[in-house]
Structure 1
Amino acid sequence: MSAQDQREHDRAGALAARFAEVFGHAPDGVWRAPGRVNLIGEHTDYNDGLVLPFAIDRSALVAVRLRRGGGPEGDVVDLASTWAPAGEELSRVRFRAGGLAPGAVPGWGAYPAGVVHVLAGSGGVEVPGFELLLDSTVPVGAGLSSSHAVEVATVVALDELLGLGLDRPAMARLTQRAENEFVGAPTGIMDQSASLLGRAGAALFLDCSDLAAESVPLPLAEQGLAVVVVDTKVAHSHADGGYAARRAACERGAAALGAGSLREVPDDADLGVLDPETARRVRHVRTENRRVLAAVARLRAGDVRSVGELLTASHASLRDDYEVSCPELDLAVDTALAAGALGARMTGGGFGGSAIALVPAERAGAVAAAVERAFAAAGLRRPAAFTVVPGDGAGRVR
């Protein structure tokens, strides 16, 4: 068992014991789903484009037990989470599995509730009540897909406990619908897919038009490299207006160019027919797809180091054409590059969250320290900097 697997196993054991304390009996099992870092391919997923994320060694764990025997509480879902307000041991959410409507469950509980809503709705599954205890090491609001990790852990657990036999692409589609229809965030398919399909030591090359997926080697340690994540501590939300506005602009651009999605727009299409803002949004998506293809080609050839320049070009496009960066993300990227990173960019939806830097492993600490000093000099909140490695996708831990 690897050191990471041992840590997950130990966490799962502790969570199962805590579950017994909270609910008075043992769970049926414990399941995990990792967060993700998107190496490159940002804001392309909802345009049927190409992405290259990897699952990370930080995850959401859920201990779950189905209610049995029916009765007046047979469809009651009782959730608890170690994500709790200051001064409280646990955050609690309770609802009935039947008749859920969007907006009915607030806060973090909306993510498991959304999965139940979609399963019981068009999925046609009779979802009984259950108890669930959540613990997550994926930073919230950092652009590392903490919400999708919760949804994926929930759907993987319910799939096994209810014997649904869903395949991984079906689970990805289901959790996307939970996010879109129940939570109200117009996200694409990438985050769930990375959490479900990730492999240790590899990135996931995903075509979001048909979910065709390929594991591409990402031998960071073998090539003396590391990926440093800088959580700027600027919170963001996919449910806010900025993300939705970018998606709407892409849809307008595709329609104006006579295509169903930006993926279908030919390379020689005349962007001059678009207003300047929409043209910039479209240009980012088209060039980002090309950067993903270039990154995949370099990884297949074993040349991880040269991917760095593609990351930096991606950030410039996200900053200037897609306009989803922010001063804190720009500072993190610029400082990392000045401190010796091979490439750096914002990752995730933007408007805050995290940046990533591809660095020589021996420079990881120096890069992190340089970013912290730069934030302090600018009078900004201290960021959190840490390394991540590509890990395995979701599954049962115990």
Structure 2
Amino acid sequence: MADVPPVEKIPEAKKERFDKLRSTFISKYGTEPDYFARAPGRVNLIGEHIDYCGYAVLPMAIEQDVIFATSSNADGKITFSNLNPVYKDFECDVSDITIPKDNPQWYFYALCGVKGMMEHMKKTTALGFNCVVEGTVPPSAGLSSSSALVCCAALTMMQANGWSLSKQELADMCAHCEHYIGTEGGGMDQAISFMAKHGTAKLIEFNPLRSTDVKLPFDTVFVISNSCVQANKAASSNFNIRVVECRIATQILAKSNSLEWKGIKKFAELQSLLLTTLDEMIDKVNKTFHKEPYTKTEICSILEVTPEELASTSLSENTLNVESFKLYQRASHVYNEAKRVVEFKQTCDLNASGTVEKLGELMTASHDSCRDLYECSHPDLDNLVQICLKSGALGSRLTGAGWGGCAVSMVRATDVLNFLAKVRDEYYLKSEERSTKILESLFATEPGAGAAIYKV
């Protein structure tokens, strides 16, 4: 039997939360929900901005999640209502879903999941659903709140119509359908949301998608700290510029190695074709690229194409007007970060003396690379990482797309309370605005379970 998302009883410890959602649903729609769908957020321990380049990443699901209280309807309507009054209600017909790529709203992500499921199942009409949504994943914080919405909506649509897809099919489909809103991610968020297992991190590999349990050191805890700088990757082109820079760097490397470069778009694909190691690819990057930014004219000259041809082979819709590209920096980050993921997994597997120190060093080196080479950090986030390291973290780094959002720190279990107090004092209490957000912004977490359906 396919490895499908489980259908479970509501955990006793979560009953009060589900009862509140149920009551709100009854007040809103005048009937009981049929079921609940849940999808978790995630924290990426290491492997940032490399999934869309084809390389493995190492995330874990967190306890924070998105839950839909849902009932199916036969009129083909999709109705979203959020428990948080800041987020407005939305209704549309399941056969007429439009997702604008400007001014993203919270329900656009849910619509991605519905639209993706419809197209995957090759349906033009289907049963709709009414739902009340509650989310505990901090928004725009690098913990995958948007992908949790996408995954939860896809799972809800599947359940509403009695369809059956494996976790892998759902993850693949959800990774693709987030492109409807204009972000070109690689699939990590969706894969861990469906494939996560309580108590373990996962090595997520791509092409084909597969996951492997990674046992983390038992005497450490991972602490998440939110910089409180929101970063909505769909609202700017920063994310997609990095995707395009990686694509162009891949194509120039391919051409310099006498390959048919136009169809090659990912660093991992190129490495596979060249039959080289990561160290050898790092060497090729150092020998091929200069450190100064490349102009579009220079890139066209190297690839021997016109600007129009470059637009069709390498650029994306919202990067057509970009004129400067940092190719050495992006390529160097990706290949070195891919190497750090391999070393992190190997270090966990060996579990030898010095394991936690080595893992911490890899995490901190990852942050330095994201800050200096990929330029996806933020001054407040850099400051937070430094405070975490000074407060006793073995390693600390940004997690998620960056440009704000959260840091993840590895801390000895015996040091956690002291660590939390120091970070609270040095980062959150130094700002009047941040001091009101401590409870939801600074917390330890353990590897959580993946997406599931819960019976009423």
When normalised by structure 1's length, the TM-score is 0.90
The amino acid across from 1:99 in the alignment is D
**1:78 maps to which residue?**
79
1:122-133 matches, cutoff 5 A: 123-125=121-123, 126-133=125-132
1:296 aligns with 2:345: yes
Q: For each residue in 1:343-380, what CA deviation from the matched residue of structure 2 results, as whole angstroms up to 9, or x when unmatched? A: 11000000000001100123223323333333368658
1:117 aligns with 2:115: yes
Q: How many angstroms apart in 2 are the aligned matches of 1:285 and 1:43?
A: 7
Q: How many angstroms apart in 2 are the aligned matches of 1:353 and 1:81?
A: 22
Q: How many angstroms apart in 2 are the aligned matches of 1:121 and 1:226?
A: 41
State the 1:165 CA deviation.
1.3
Query: Do 2:22 and 2:32's aligned partners in 1 also have CA atoms closer than 8 Å?
Result: yes
Pick closer, same or farther for the CA change 1:329–1:128 going to 2, 3 Å. same
Q: How many angstroms apart in 2 are the aligned matches of 1:377 and 1:65?
A: 43
Mark the structure with the bigger radius of gyration.
2
| Corresponding residue pairs, total | 382
Pick closer, same or farther for the CA change 1:210–1:380 going to 2, 3 Å. farther
**1:71 maps to which residue?**
none
Structure 1 segments unaligned to the other structure (5+ residues): 69-73
**1:172 maps to which residue?**
171
The amino acid across from 2:21 in the alignment is L
Deviates more, 1:24-33 or 1:294-303: 294-303
1:244 aligns with 2:245: no
State the 1:329 CA deviation.
1.2
Pick closer, same or farther for the CA change 1:307–1:99 going to 2, 3 Å. same
Deviates more, 1:142-151 or 1:101-110: 101-110
Pick closer, same or farther for the CA change 1:184–1:148 going to 2, 3 Å. same
Pick closer, same or farther for the CA change 1:184–1:260 going to 2, 3 Å. closer
1:228 aligns with 2:233: no
Following TM superposition, the consecutive aligned residue runs of length 4 or more in structure 1 with deviations greater than 6 angstroms are none
Choose the corresponding residue for 1:198, options 196, 199, 207.
196
Choose the corresponding residue for 1:353, options 387, 390, 405.
405
What is the percent sequence identity of the aligned residues?
Answer: 29
Deviates more, 1:381-390 or 1:137-146: 381-390
Pick closer, same or farther for the CA change 1:54–1:168 going to 2, 3 Å. same
Choose the corresponding residue for 2:14, options 8, 22, 25.
8
- Alpha-carbon RMSD across the aligned residues, in angstroms, is 2.0
The amino acid across from 2:91 in the alignment is R
State the 1:150 CA deviation.
1.4
**2:96 maps to which residue?**
99
What is the SS of the residue equivalent to 2:89?
Answer: strand
1:46-85 matches, cutoff 5 A: 46-68=52-74, 74-85=75-86
Pick closer, same or farther for the CA change 1:9–1:275 going to 2, 3 Å. farther
Q: How many angstroms apart in 2 are the aligned matches of 1:58 and 1:52?
A: 18
State the 1:194 CA deviation.
0.8
State the 1:121 CA deviation.
3.1
What is the SS of the residue equivalent to 1:177?
Answer: helix
Query: Do 2:117 and 2:157's aligned partners in 1 also have CA atoms closer than 8 Å?
Result: no
Query: Do 2:77 and 2:129's aligned partners in 1 also have CA atoms closer than 8 Å?
Result: yes
Query: Do 1:60 and 1:135's aligned partners in 2 also have CA atoms closer than 8 Å?
Result: yes
**1:135 maps to which residue?**
134
State the 1:52 CA deviation.
0.3
Q: How many angstroms apart in 2 are the aligned matches of 1:39 and 1:352?
A: 16
Deviates more, 1:161-170 or 1:98-107: 98-107
State the 1:32 CA deviation.
0.8
State the 1:275 CA deviation.
4.2
Query: Do 2:111 and 2:153's aligned partners in 1 also have CA atoms closer than 8 Å?
Result: no
Q: How many angstroms apart in 2 are the aligned matches of 1:378 and 1:334?
A: 15
Pick closer, same or farther for the CA change 1:275–1:244 going to 2, 3 Å. farther
Query: Do 1:8 and 1:397's aligned partners in 2 also have CA atoms closer than 8 Å?
Result: no
Query: Do 1:12 and 1:397's aligned partners in 2 also have CA atoms closer than 8 Å?
Result: no
Q: For each residue in 1:234-270, what CA deviation from the matched residue of structure 2 results, as whole angstroms up to 9, or x when unmatched? A: 0001212111111110001111111541113344242
Query: Do 1:375 and 1:381's aligned partners in 2 also have CA atoms closer than 8 Å?
Result: no
What is the SS of the residue equivalent to 2:347?
Answer: helix
**2:266 maps to which residue?**
261
